[in-house]
Structure 1
């Protein structure tokens, strides 16, 4: 298969050009990416991340201070560089270690990122946070199932996160970009006692699950088994019963969802930390499609009006971290305004207009 031909100016999330664009890959990945300097970029620096070396170490020692950096390292678990290591560089990272990505998956997400409208993402994010900020109470609704969960984001502490739009110097972001979220504490540090205290009601899951693992290869078999056990959710819904940010029960909505509900109940019983709704996520990348597999970058999927997703657990504190895409759900404000989701995507019918030269008085 020939290399995928890209230029540095394809990736709008970096903003304006830098003199040096650095592509960091793992050994098996570099051969199928051909990256050429775009407008305003004088050179592409290609580096391979050696086994046992942290991404931050390599950046701090080998990458110019004002460079743009893209890390695409399938099979490698990449810890975020510290602010001191990153400095003024702008960093985008393809999440390619916690779920099994094929070479074709990597190619797909590179192509997707190259056509992502980052300016539009910035506008969507600004509108999202304006609407959320003006409404204390938000509701996640599933019009098909008739379920609702209310979220009072002023109750207790929570942290809003933006992985979308243009990077500033010293910023790091997922690749392709396109996710907003709210977490019970800082997104990278699991606190078992933290809760989204204002989240109460019923949440319906029906969509692709994602099962992330950490570095231990021995977890691979159970990761595959858990993903397969939850895969009925693609076609069959279950409802989570939530009180103060904690899952209190799981109900299958159809017989086809029973096995997935049983698997979820077992997970919650075996490790009660999974009962915590750790993250409410909102995918806003409308340039990507769902990869029908256990694929971490699916979390940015935004359909046409944005997609609600739900996160349980965080590695390595928990053995796995689970995400559930909920493309039938909508996020609405207290006055019923659709912020994001299925209701936002509904197109109104075009008004019928008569264009003949007649006004009834000829």
Structure 2
């Protein structure tokens, strides 16, 4: 195991100004991987530091409510544990950030990388990027997702049906929780953690290109780990060999590999759709805006925040535990454009424009 990574609480800008207690929560598998600067005052800036282990059989929400001061800033990094989001009553006025370390097989080295990356993330810049995104999306009736390399194009009319916009980026307010590292914006057809098989992004139509590292989340059953890895390996063909999805009213109608090298990924995805039609739903249209965190070439859930220099489009299919796995695909060559062709993010350069309300809530439910 790598040497313990010492965390200085004040390094994580999403919590805002240090005040009161900073609490690091980890699991038994994480003991020895992290150390917390708990000196009162000192360089941490907090009056107190608290490091807790989440016992087997106890939920994160229960531990928060029973053992963590009511106004604490809390970072949860629990290797091997799937963390369900605490209720608003359990969270109270605490600020909570969760590094998803149970739904994908993160190594200690991966987790330490994401923690260091989060400490380097410019939260103020990220907030301005999010504001810019929502302002320009709000003033455009329709959006277009294009992949200039393959020629694929999909239109997204976000005024069609119900859309919930989510922000997992920028500073936290009391009572809010966020993924860690921060840096993802998204839109879903329903509350992000409450899957409805009949919900659709009705205005999403056309072709989308998958080209980048896939992510395969599982829920709490360790027996799913072998099939999770097998599926990830098959889908990883899209890193070098793009696959096109034909989408109508927010549901996948056809999967086509652009070259023969993409056939294993297309076939694996087609089997999932045939076995469980709920995977046909584009559950989440996501946008990574973290410009500091690189995409790790492995099955790593936090890769979803990867934004590169200009933001990255990603797609989400399925949601655990409703579906056995939840899939996310980075679309690194794609761009999001407004109705007049102005790039919002992605491979084409973005410019500034208007304002939109969004929800700061509990990540994707795949902790």
What is the TM-score normalised by the length of structure 2? 0.93
SS across alignment from 1:126 = helix
Q: Which has the higher contact order (CA 8 A, sep 6+)?
A: 2
Partner of 1:173, secondary structure, is strand
Asked if 1:264 is matched to 2:269, the reply is: yes
Asked if 1:340 corresponds to 2:341, the answer is: no
Aligned-residue offset at 1:32:
2.4
Tell me how far apart the structure 1 counterparts of residues 160 and 292 of structure 2 sit (CA, whole Å).
34
Question: 2:318 maps to which residue?
Answer: 313
**Alignment pair present for 1:246 and 2:251:** yes
Q: Residue 111 of structure 1 corresponds to which residue in structure 2?
A: 116
Q: CA deviation at 1:344?
A: 2.2
* Corresponding position: 1:322 with 2:324: no
Helix, strand or coil for the counterpart of 1:344?
coil
Equivalent residue for 2:358? none
**8 Å CA contact retained: 1:304, 1:345:** no
Give me the TM-score of the superposition, normalised by structure 1. Answer: 0.94
Q: Measure, in 2, the Cα distance between the counterparts of 1:240 and 1:106.
A: 32
Q: What is residue 164 of structure 1 aligned with on the other side?
A: 169
Of 267, 271, 278, the residue aligned with 1:273 is 278
- Measured after TM superposition, the shift of residue 269 of structure 1 is 0.9
Please give the per-residue CA displacement for 1:196-249, whole angstroms capped at 9, x wherever unaligned: 000000001111000000011111111011001111100001100010001000
- The structure with the larger Rg is 1
Q: What's 1:135 paired with?
A: 140
* Distance (whole Å) between structure 1 residues aligned to residue 102 and residue 6 of structure 2: 23
Q: Unaligned 5+ residue runs, structure 1?
A: 347-362
1:32 aligns with 2:37: no
The correspondence of residues 1-362 of structure 1 with structure 2, limited to 5 A, is 1-37=2-38, 38-344=43-349
* Post-superposition CA distance 1:309-353 (Å, at most 9, x none): 00000000000000000010000000111101111289xxxxxxx
Q: Residue deviations 1:113-153, cap 9 Å, x none?
A: 11000001000000000000000100000000011000000
Alignment check: 8 A CA contact 2:284 2:316 kept: yes
The separation in 2 between residues aligned to 1:345 and 1:26, in whole angstroms, is: 41
Is the CA contact (8 Å cut-off) linking 1:150 and 1:200 kept in structure 2? yes
